[in-house]
Structure 1
Amino acid sequence: MAQEEKEADSTVTYPKRSYTTTTVQGLEPIKIDGSLNDPAWATVEWTSDYVEWEPDNATPPTQQTKMKVVYDDKNLYLAFYCLESNPENIIQRMGRRDDFPGDWIEVNIDSYNDDRTAFSFTTSVSGVKGDEFVSNNGNNWDVSWNPIWYVKTSMVADGWVAELRIPLSQLRFGNDAEQVWGIQSTRRYFSKEERSTWQPIPANPAGWVSSFGELRGLKNLKPQKQLEIQPYALGRYSTYEKENGNPFRDGTDGKFSAGLDAKIGVTNDLTLDLTINPDFGQVEADPGAVSLDGFEIFFQERRPFFVENKNIFNFNYSGGQDNLFFSRRIGRDPQGSAVGPGTAYIDQPNNTTILGAAKFSGKTKNGWTVGVLESVTAKEYADVIAENGQEDEVLVEPLSNYFVGRLQKDFNDRNSYIGGMVTGTHRQMHENVSFLHTQAYSGGLDFKHNWKDRTYYIEGNVVGSHVRGSREAILNTQNSIVHLFQRSDASHVQVDTSRTSLSGTGGRVEFGKGGGGNWRYYAGGNWSSPELELNDIGFLRQADQIQQYARVVRLFNKPTSWYRRMNFALEQSSAFDFEGNYNRMMYEMVGFLNYKNNWWSEFGAAHKPRIYVNSFLRGGPRWRYNEENYFYFFSGTDRRKKASFDLGYVHSEGKQDAFDLRRYVFRARYQPINALSMSLNLEYETNPSKTQYITEKAFNGMPRYILGNIDQETYSATLRLNYNINPNLTIQYYGQPFIFKADYSELNYVNDATAKNLDQRVTWYKNDQIRFEDDTYYIDENRDQNIDYTVSNPDFAFVQFRSNLVARWEYIPGSEIYLVWSQGITGLGDVNNRFSAIVDNQLLRQRPQNTFLIKATYRFIL
């Protein structure tokens, strides 16, 4: 009964707290030195009475915190006094920007007062800064936002102090004579892994920003228009193994370039960001990955210009990775190829040059969210030398223009919004790239409505697309892995070689309970019509599907004698295609448990009684997988400790031993001193399958789909080192070897693609039907002593190593110098070798490509 009463407390709502500030204009300016001795601080009183949020919600915190806020015509000032009865409990670990391994204090400011967005500023006791733009009522935190602000911390006898100065030009607000802003402050008390907040909130609030308290007393503030210009200069030098006879690979390359970024406050609400010839040489490389299913691998955007304010341009219409805008399309690898008859040597660019990009974005005090992005990428040519010595240039990417427009409007006291988005891609077409679309458009409308104090919600969207191009381009789209109009058993789609355009639709609707009490649930569905095509500037993994899903979650928020918090969830989903085929059903259970000693475990299990895949045979008939069961379990030690470890195991298997997956994960983190941290992530995976697709051949005028028994292994190791000399000078290292082995045997062919029994689904070649010579399988299927078709040996081993060593110095706020050393090796190994031999032969004994880079930026604030 006592436990039930405790848990019932999570439904309580708290009255909004209010803090009244005052101007200190005309007084001696506050000096940011962490001392709090300036006379201006005496003009306001401390506010305190922070309340524990996690783990024991609505109880007094272990240590109390105090806050003051004042302002002048140009700045907002905040002071925090973090009390500590035993100073030895204060953990002063260092980290790079936006990384806080020790004690910290944070303030969130909803200067729009829209209950949906906020500006977040965090400082650790060691003086490391973090800043994020918060959107979608706390569901999105954009760590790429890097405003200019100032902080100083200091240790005092009974705790530690943080003093902040935030220029008003870094915030967005209206021009009312007297304003009310939302405000929240959170303290992390590291030694007990405890969070306390100035404004009390439930353990799992329906919304983060909408739960803020109020900051009052803001009078006659003048919106500050932001004007910042940041030029850069860059020198790059690369060394690699020389290729005899290849003039494009003479062993060294050098390059100098320059560019410009600018941020212009058109109004206090709306900002114009510009970039000319941007460079992202300091950005970390993508992790290694191999896809055997034919689908594109999704990689996260890492480039600062596109990451900042990405929430505004987000239109995730399906609930997964599918999106109307995928910024990595801009500046992508050239899509054309210069390979041709008589070609001896090719020098092809790795990326498309972004000539320039502009981004106009922000949110007005009236609740309008606006985003417009425009970018132009250059023509890219590959230099070619023919076997006869003739030199030429071949176009591999046309001049392209990309446009994205986004608009949203809040209403109903900020409990609802409706919005829309449009995108456009235009290419200057030439014969060598006629396989690309000349134009591609997409658009959509979205909405969300919350009610009953944001406890319940309904949201949804609808999208459409239209692409144009040559017959070749549209034929390629119809036959691509995303669409597969050529599927032999599909009656609702068919290839039309005369088409020069395609139009499709998609969308999603979902409703659920997002707050209040200890239960959460939602249910919804989405669809993508067969003709939907977004991949010119968006991301769409697969069209022609209808999905349904539901989830219910039980939260346990109050600590007990053996756990801090835990939750359990049940999920169910199913999928169909537009022909009405019932393709998938899944039932899943997941859970998370945070123990009293701050160790943790997460686990899950699922049953998939029905799995049909339209794309498995790459245009052949629908394929049936055997029933699948899987489970996973991960557990780890207390991550506050100087040394912590995680272990994980994933196990999946199909009936009749049709396929199997086992993944082993080990993660370790170690911070021997406050300034140095390191982490190691090891993963090993085996994924054998009796029926891995290899190729399609013709036999007696009919397609023959060839499969094989694959012994698939993957190994990766990711090492990170961070050394923080001070909060503004850091050295970071990232290194990852990645090895993928695919060893095929026991070739077979599809007999009945939808048979339940694997032995009826495929037929294995007998010894008198197949022989292996000269790296080729020779197949006499009908045993007439004539070779009916051949299959090249599909075995391969992919080897990759990527590393970055970056020294970053923010010598003044907003201005930086980067020193970068990158290494890379990519090649093929011997699938018959062990991992140790592949590492020795293909990594340790190979000469890597080395790139040395120095980049300097300077931010002018005008």
Structure 2
Amino acid sequence: MNFKMLTFVFLLYSLGIYAQKSITTNTISQHIKIDGLLNEDTWKTHLKKVQLKQLSPNNGNLHSNASKIAITNDDSFFYIAAELSSPSITNILTSRDDVGTSDYFGFMIDLFGANREAWAFLVTPANVQTDIKLTPNGNYGEWNAVWESAVKIYDDKWTIELKIPFNSLRFPKKDFSNITINFERFDAVNNENSFWNYINPNINGLLNQFGDLKGLKNVSPPINLSFNPFVSMINEKTPNKLNTYTFTGGLDLKYVHNNAYTIDVSLIPDFSQALSDNQVFNLSPFEIRFNENRQFFVEGAEIFDKGGYLYTRRIGGTPVNKNNFNIEKNEEIINNPISSNIINLLKFTGKTEKGLSIGILNGITSKSEATVKNTVTNETMNIETNPLTNYNSIVIDKTLKNNSFLTFINNSVIRNGNTYDSNLSALLYRWYNKKRTYSMYFKKALSQKYYANLENQFGHEYYASLSKISGKWTGNVSFYLLDDTFDNNDFGYLPRNNQLTLKSNITYTNNNPKKTFSQYRINLQHSRKYYYTLLENEQTYYKLNTSATFKKNNHKAYAVFTYVEKGKNFYEPRVKDRYFNKPAFTETVLEYQTNRNKNLYFAAYFVAVNYLNSDIYTNEIVTGYGVRCRLGQHLFFKLEQDLTKNPSSAGYITQQGSDIIFGKRSIKELTNSLHVNYAINAKLNISTRLRHYWIQVDYDKQFTLLNDGNLTTNNYTINPNNYDENYNNFTIDFIAKWQFAPASEISLGYKLGSNFYNNDVKSSYFSNLKSTLKEDSSNTMSLKMTYFLDFNKIKEKLF
């Protein structure tokens, strides 16, 4: 190598530019037994030593231990083998889709090579499988596939075999020249996370830093059709002693056409074993958003996440008119369903070779009715609270040059009868330059509500941002506008509209410090939010974010300092265009985390809020900690506790004529949760979660809100103590799962939910816990069996 070439290679290295690796797959006819023993001739021929480079803790360094990898294929499967040398192997049993603190090996592949989507298959030394859908928007661990793996552990190494069906992937029909892949290895003892094709953290994106896969020729996988029939027995008990038994069955069907277009259908879906919501007592004027825990909606949801317009909890959620009907004095409500029953669900997703992605999600819920009883005649009548409703979401996404994209979204809710219908349409455009250094993002959305007897309502949303996304220095400026009639809450989640927000931030990241840290980051943010219709400044803040990872022990530290100027809250008064003056304050957040990969992990945070120049608000403290411990290979538990103490603040309590009444209040909030998991083996797992939430809101004084946003005393005979709140929520979630065959399982679930409420704000924690446990609770016991049927195997047996 001459001097000029040496200089060129040095410059490439110093700029963080590395040659893209390539590996060749060979089509084989030999049968490979998936047993973890690499004794087939194929592996003896193709297994080669490879160099893996660390992403962390020593970015760019070679992995400490030797690795050998090979990949081959036949007409139906990819086969991957790996031999990973290691003097110490961390072998922990966990549930599926959870690598825990164990070592693991992963294979990632983007069959279109367009940096838009990829699939990752990870396996631990305990042969626990994890599969993940990777996209530029985020990773989706809820995606599940049917594949095989086997592991063999030796004194100084462990060996892996993977057998991944083409039917589990999506790929172009003809062109296989752009396939990209990567291999990942994690060693828990050294905290080393390494990749075959180096991942440069100073370059935005993961998929665009894969290596090339050569040698894959046209393949003809079999018909991709599968069925998941299920049967379930459910016993439900309500707090009012109503006891029901249900024996039901259903079917989930998946069909993939040309290995590009997927149809998922769920007939009579059963979500009885979905995790309980983390209930809280809502003091704010906004709706609380809950996580989506239902498998049908979380799996394959990545295309519908574009723009953040879809909230699938609306399907089967609260009836639209649950609280919108009146009863007479001699009537009482006997039953008022809190959710709508889902009849069926359908999901269609696909991607063409030219980068056009399509997603369709459809759900139908049945009519819901409340039962009202006449206390004089004892007659009952039914009042419709939710009509037969169709929910539909369509997403069309086109890949453009440099992995830019243009996306059209349409979400609609069509209701039977005179209840209003709604629609949302949005257009999104993301641009990247060739080197993926800069990006621009624009979106425009239109919400529409169509009424039978009222004027239709239209609303508008606008967003624009410009970002530098790669390099040590990154930053962003953005503009966000929601008018006062924009509303997508029929199929989305929008806590508020009527805002204009301007934001900017700049970040410095060092991924290769020389001494104390393996990585640190400093970020500065500035934001100004306006109440749009009046162009009144609501909130302005300045924020400094810092984070660092220590080189020696992989501990992490965070510190955030925020100053918020005096502002106007236009929503706490619950009356349009009225506002409440919020004092200026500073907020300090400190957090420390020990090494997540150790058997004992501890994290704690502390938040101090200091209010400035206020007669009502006093300093607030929020703190919490979490302890995670693994005892041996099988048992894991996690304990978390969060505490909020707000000695004095103000909030809305009621109205007297046109006067808005606020109360001075103290808030004490405590959440305790315990999660215990016992993995008997890689296929049998038992998990239990207990959670207790407790809040006390103690009102002391009451004031009238003036037109200038200040509070003043009044002559109303309002007793603030009448608005005191003491609320408890206790839940238990138990689930035992046995995967007796690929994608087939038997599960036993138990859920308990109990609430306790009064106005005794002087009561102690343990007396509240005791009273909550004594309350009549809702209980759900369910036994469910799901069986995976592959059409090709059925065909073989029948014909």
TM-score between both structures, scaled by the size of structure 1: 0.87
Q: Distance in 2 between matches of 1:30 and 1:410?
A: 37
* Structure 1 residue 223 displacement after superposition: 4.8
Amino acid of the structure 1 residue aligned with 2:393: V
Correspondences of 1:23-422 after superposition (within 5 Å)? 23-25=27-29, 27=30, 29-84=31-86, 86=87, 89-100=88-99, 101-136=101-136, 139-176=137-174, 178-239=176-237, 249-316=240-307, 323-335=308-320, 336-337=322-323, 340-341=327-328, 342-344=330-332, 346-387=334-375, 388-412=377-401, 414-422=402-410
**Per-residue deviation at 1:690?**
3.9
Aligned counterparts of 1:461 and 1:816: Cα–Cα separation in 2:
43
Instruction: Tell me what 1:711 maps to.
Output: 666
What one-letter code is carried by the residue in structure 2 that aligns with 1:143?
G
Q: 1:353 to 1:372 in 2, by over 3 A?
A: same
In structure 1, C-alpha distance between the alignment counterparts of 2:682 and 2:202, rounded to whole Å? 33
Deviation of residue 806 (structure 1)?
A: 0.3
Which shows bigger deviation, 602-611 or 35-44? 35-44
Question: In structure 1, what residue type is equivalent to 2:569?
Answer: V
Contact 1:799 1:829 (C-alpha < 8 Å) held by counterparts: no
Name the structure 2 match of 1:784: none
Q: Give me the whole-angstrom Cα distance separating, in 1, the residues matched to 2:353 and 2:702.
A: 65
One-letter amino acid of the counterpart of residue 507, structure 2: V
User: What's 1:602 paired with?
Assistant: 558
Contact 2:47/2:82 (<8 A) preserved: no
- Counterparts of 2:675 and 2:772, CA distance in 1: 19
State the secondary structure of the residue aligned to 1:677.
strand
- Who is 1:464 aligned against? 446
Q: Is it true that 1:799 corresponds to 2:728 in the alignment?
A: yes
Q: Distance in 1 between matches of 2:326 and 2:108?
A: 54
Q: Which one of the candidate residues 689, 698, 709 is aligned to 1:743?
A: 698
Match of 2:711 in 1: 762
Partners of 1:579 and 1:615 lie apart in 2 by: 14
Letter in 2 for 1:603: A
- 1:628 partner letter: F
The equivalent of 2:611 in structure 1 is: 654
Q: Secondary structure at the match of 2:613?
A: helix
Corresponding letter in the other structure for 1:406: V
In 2, the alpha carbon distance for the partners of 1:7 and 1:725 equals: 53
- Give the C-alpha shift of residue 224 in structure 1: 4.7
In the alignment, residue 262 of structure 1 is paired with which amino acid? L
Name the counterpart of 1:494. Answer: none
Residues 414-442 of structure 1 deviation map (CA, whole Å, 9 limit, x = unaligned): 43111111111111135xxx5xxx21011
| Mapped partners of 2:12, 2:467: distance in 1 | 20
Match of 2:412 among 418, 424, 446: 424
| C-alpha separation in 1, matches of 2:175 and 2:430 | 32
CA contact (8 A) 1:462 1:508 kept: yes
Partner of 1:641: 598
Tell me how far 1:830 sits from its aligned partner.
3.9
Matched, 1:618 2:574: yes
Deviation at 1:14, TM superposition (A): 0.8
Q: In structure 2, what is the equivalent of residue 244 of structure 1?
A: none
Structure-1 separation of matches of 2:627 and 2:649: 35
Which AA in structure 2 matches 1:76? F
1:486 matched residue in structure 2? none
What secondary structure is seen at the aligned counterpart in 2 of 1:742?
strand
- 688-697 or 292-301, larger mean C-alpha shift: 688-697
CA 1:679 to 1:178, structure 2 compared with 1: closer, same or farther past 3 Å? closer
Q: 1:509 aligns to what?
A: 464
| Corresponding residue of 2:512 | 558
Contact 1:119–1:131 at 8 Å: present in 2 too?
yes
Q: Select which of 433, 437, 455 maps to 1:500.
A: 455
Give the partner amino acid of 1:568. I
Please say which of residues 739-748 and 616-625 is displaced more in the overlay: 616-625
Q: What amino acid does structure 1 have at the position aligned with 2:161? A: E
| SS of alignment partner, residue 309 of structure 2 | coil
Mapping 1:533-552, distance limit 5 Å: 533-552=487-506
* 1:835 and 2:764 matched: yes
* Structure 2 Cα separation of the partners of residues 171 and 832 of structure 1: 56
Alpha-carbon deviation of 1:7?
Answer: 13
Give the counterpart letter for 2:173 in structure 1: N
- What letter corresponds to residue 818 of structure 1 in structure 2? S
Q: Is the 8 A contact 1:68 1:80 kept in 2?
A: yes
Q: Deviations over 1:513-550 (max 9, x none)?
A: 1113x111111111111111101111111111111111
Instruction: Return the alpha-carbon distance in structure 1 between the equivalents of residues 44 and 593 of structure 2.
Output: 47
How many angstroms does 1:344 deviate by? Answer: 4.0
Q: Distance in 2 between matches of 1:510 and 1:654?
A: 32
Query: Does structure 1 conserve the Cα–Cα contact (< 8 Å) formed by 2:147 and 2:163?
Result: yes
Counterpart of 2:634 in structure 1 is: 675
Deviation at 1:559, TM superposition (A): 4.2
1:684 paired to 2:643:
yes
- Partner Cα separation in structure 2 for residue 7 and residue 849 of structure 1: 66
- After superposition, the C-alpha distances for 1:472-517 in whole angstroms (9 at most, x for unaligned) are xxxxxxxxxxxxxxxxxxxxxxxxxxx421101102111111113x
Asked if the contact 1:301/1:328 (under 8 Å) is kept, the reply is yes
Contact 1:239 1:851 (C-alpha < 8 Å) held by counterparts: yes
**Which runs of 5 or more residues in structure 1 are unaligned?**
1-5, 242-248, 317-322, 472-498, 755-760, 778-790
**TM-aligned CA deviation for residue 841 of structure 1:** 4.0
Q: Report how far residue 819 of structure 1 moved.
A: 0.1
Instruction: Show the counterpart of 1:785.
Output: none
CA distance in 1, matches of 2:424, 2:597: 46
Deviation digits for residues 17-64 of structure 1 (CA, Å, limit 9, x no counterpart): 010110112x2x111100011223234242511112212122121112
Contact kept in structure 1, 2:545 and 2:560, CA below 8 Å = yes
Letter of the structure 2 residue corresponding to residue 522 of structure 1: N
SS of the residue corresponding to residue 191 of structure 1 reads coil
- Residues 51 and 198 in structure 1, CA contact (< 8 A), matched pair in contact too: yes
Q: Is 1:809 paired with 2:764?
A: no
1:663 alignment counterpart: 622
Please give the secondary structure, in 2, of the residue aligned with 1:259.
strand
SS at match of 1:640: coil
User: Distance in 2 between the 1:557 and 1:511 partners?
Assistant: 24
Pair 1:521-2:521 in alignment: no
Is the 2:520–2:549 Cα contact (8 Å) retained in structure 1?
yes
Q: What are the superposed Cα offsets for residues 318-369 of structure 1, whole Å, 9 maximum, x if unpaired?
A: xxxxx32111111102232477233345123332111111111022221111
**Whole-angstrom distance in 1 between the partners of 2:446 and 2:73:** 48
460-469 or 827-836, larger mean C-alpha shift: 827-836
Q: Is the 8 A contact 2:341 2:365 kept in 1?
A: yes
Aligned-partner residue type, residue 711 of structure 2: V
On the 8 A contact 1:10/1:202 being kept in 2, the answer is: no
- Matching residue within 661, 667, 682 for 1:727: 682
CA shift in 2, pair 1:223/1:449, >3 Å? farther
Partner residue in 2 for 1:444: 426
Corresponding residue SS for 2:680: strand
Secondary structure at 1:315 match in 2: helix
Is the Cα contact below 8 Å between 1:407 and 1:421 reproduced in 2?
Answer: yes
